[in-house]
Amino acid sequence: MSDWLLSGAPRAAACDLYCFPHGGGTAAEYLRWSRDLRTARVHAVQLPGRVPRLTEAMPASMRELVEAFLAEVPLATGRFVFFGHSLGALFAYEVTRALAAAGRPLPARLVVSGFRAPHLPYPGGQLHRLPDDELLDAVAGLHGGLPEEVLASAELRELAAGALRADYRVLETYVWQPGDPLPVPLTVFGGEDDRITTEELEAWGEHTSAGASVRRFPGGHFYLRERPAPVQRALAGALASVRAERSAPC
């Protein structure tokens, strides 16, 4: 289908769910959701610069990333839903904005996780300019989420630092551009112990004319790893609402 996607098996009457990874993340984490989200066909987005796309350079800006994605990914022809965590939330949001600007079909729902509303100032600095070891230490201190086996291996540390550097360059050079609210309902998730506040999550409501809801889960920035079951149930509920709103299977 596309180098950008790892997709689960087709399922009758299932929504197509596109999962956009966090900074430094890979598609594999979200493809595992296929086992538990029985009402969805999961399409996990695989960014350039990580297995199996190690030889490909990550686009240098969010605009270039969105353009490359939409030029190469054949989105589902029926109804679909976007989910993105952290950097993936911003990526999914900007892809949705680009679809709207082009007059193309929009996701039936946008689920964003672990990221403050995009018009709010990003509090980070210039992590993408740090040397590898300092970059890994800084990201681990901010969010955690780096497996011990990665930190213990020189080769894996180098690969992880390269992916994080490319992703943080996209994030730290991003400048939100004002525009019309999306005619797409928003579901907003966050961790109760994350640095992102409830107010910063609720501010996503300014970016939709179709309503937004916010839910926080126990855990930190990677709450969805710490206790995946309630997150997947909530996501399944969001998918179910899509079917109910349209009075037909996805």
Both structure tokens of 70: 């939409």
Rounding to the nearest 10 degrees, give the CA dihedral for residues 230, 232, 235, 241: -80
DSSP 205: G
Rounding to the nearest 10 degrees, give the CA dihedral for residues 155, 157, 160, 161: -120
* Separation of alpha carbons 166 and 53, rounded Å: 13
* Separation of alpha carbons 12 and 16, rounded Å: 11
Backbone angles phi, psi at 193, to 5 degrees: -105, 10
Is 2 in the active site? no
Alpha carbon distance, N-terminus to C-terminus of the chain: 20
Q: Which of 180, 223, 167, 186 is nearest to 50 (CA)?
A: 167
Catalytic residue among 7, 61, 86, 153: 86
Annotated catalytic residues are 86
